[in-house]
């Protein structure tokens, strides 16, 4: 099993984020940076500029007026949100579709976007000012499976089939069969990329929300959002069997199952628009 983990971690080290994101992060991490520098960095990549502006003007933000310039976007939304949006649009450029024939890349991003929108919807329902950051937390919750389907596709597919056949939590099956799980794999890659702790923790512990120490509320939101998006896409019924959110997560967010379904129904219309922004049509064809 350790050999499989070594293979995955070795493959993770070969994955790099686009230079434009690395430059942007370096600027934001510099004390007393200028908004002009942030905007100039994004504008240096025309494709990224297009995707960021398209995403900002999507139903995901619901802004009253259209934003036509990167500088305006930075000024209005702030550098943290711009960072998160740039990160979201950069991830799909770095992670290519696995050769695993059983893996559907477009379905993967659709489900991930659904989770991100539900997580954001939960945050808004809780009154969080920076609810947009939960979109990225939810969007990347399943990052580990993308890596596993690339690195160890046979074992990953076998674990999924066994989980479905025996109605056993997927993370438990992966740990028994492979010696690791997708949440740990995703968090490992995030640590390699020096992602914020909130992203790492919500990814690593969304299947076991009580283990989150630094961001328990955000982890609870992603835990619920992942389950809601999975069931809304046809994988069982929310609140039944393995599709029952942890009681502590519901208590932490103050939600009930009916409210969770309501949030999912509210955000569902925006999924396809964002899908073709983050995961361009040229890839999805």
Where does the pLDDT of residue 62 fall: very low under 50, low under 70, confident under 90, or very high at 90 and above?
confident
111: tokens are 């489900």
> Quick check: 284 pLDDT over 50?
no
- Cα distances (Å, whole numbers) of residue 191 to 22, 127, 247: 14, 29, 29
Distance separating alpha carbons of residues 285 and 281, to the nearest angstrom: 6
pLDDT of 99-157, one tens digit each? 777 788 888 999 999 999 999 999 999 988 778 889 999 999 999 999 999 899 999 99
Look at residue 82 in the predicted model and tell me its pLDDT: 84
- Cα distances (Å, whole numbers) of residue 131 to 41, 45, 128, 136, 145: 25, 27, 5, 10, 25
206: tokens are 């969304």
Look at residue 205 in the predicted model and tell me its pLDDT: 97
pLDDT of 178-214, one tens digit each? 999 999 999 999 998 888 899 999 999 999 999 999 9
Instruction: State what percent of residues in the chain have pLDDT above 70.
Output: 97
Look at residue 245 in the predicted model and tell me its pLDDT: 94
Distance separating alpha carbons of residues 200 and 198, to the nearest angstrom: 5
Distance separating alpha carbons of residues 121 and 225, to the nearest angstrom: 9
Look at residue 117 in the predicted model and tell me its pLDDT: 92
Say if pTM beats, i.e. exceeds, 0.85.
yes
Which residue, chain included where needed, has tokens 């009930």? 256
Look at residue 280 in the predicted model and tell me its pLDDT: 63
Distance separating alpha carbons of residues 180 and 41, to the nearest angstrom: 38
Look at residue 283 in the predicted model and tell me its pLDDT: 47
**Whole-number mean pLDDT of the chain?**
88
Least confident interval from 7-16, 132-141, 224-233, 258-267: 7-16
CB atoms < 10 A from the CB of 215, how many? 19
CB atoms < 10 A from the CB of 89, how many? 25
């Amino acid at each position: 099993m350790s050999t499989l983990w070594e293979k995955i971690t070795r493959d993770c080290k070969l994955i790099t984020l686009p230079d434009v994101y690395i430059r942007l992060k370096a600027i934001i991490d510099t004390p007393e940076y200028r908004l002009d520098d942030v905007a100039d960095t994004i504008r240096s990549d025309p494709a990224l500029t297009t995707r960021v502006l398209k995403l900002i003007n999507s139903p995901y933000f619901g802004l009253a007026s259209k934003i036509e310039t990167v500088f305006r976007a930075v000024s209005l939304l702030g550098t943290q949100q711009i960072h998160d949006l740039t990160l979201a649009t950069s991830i799909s450029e770095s992670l290519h579709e696995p050769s695993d024939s059983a893996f559907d890349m477009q379905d993967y991003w659709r489900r991930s976007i659904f989770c991100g929108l539900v997580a954001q919807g939960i945050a808004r329902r809780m009154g969080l000012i920076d609810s947009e950051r939960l979109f990225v937390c939810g969007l990347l919750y399943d990052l580990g499976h993308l890596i596993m389907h690339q690195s160890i596709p046979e074992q990953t597919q076998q674990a999924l089939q066994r989980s479905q056949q025996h109605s056993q939590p997927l993370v438990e099956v992966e740990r028994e069969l492979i010696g690791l799980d997708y949440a740990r794999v995703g968090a490992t890659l995030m640590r390699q990329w020096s992602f914020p702790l909130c992203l790492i923790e919500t990814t690593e512990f969304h299947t076991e929300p009580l283990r989150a120490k630094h961001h328990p509320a955000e982890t609870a939101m992603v835990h619920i959002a992942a389950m809601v998006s999975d069931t809304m896409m046809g994988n069982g019924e929310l609140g039944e069997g393995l599709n029952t959110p942890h009681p502590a997560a519901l208590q932490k967010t103050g939600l009930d199952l009916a409210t969770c379904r309501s949030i999912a129904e509210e955000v569902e219309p925006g999924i396809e628009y964002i899908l073709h922004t983050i995961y361009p049509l040229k890839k999805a064809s």
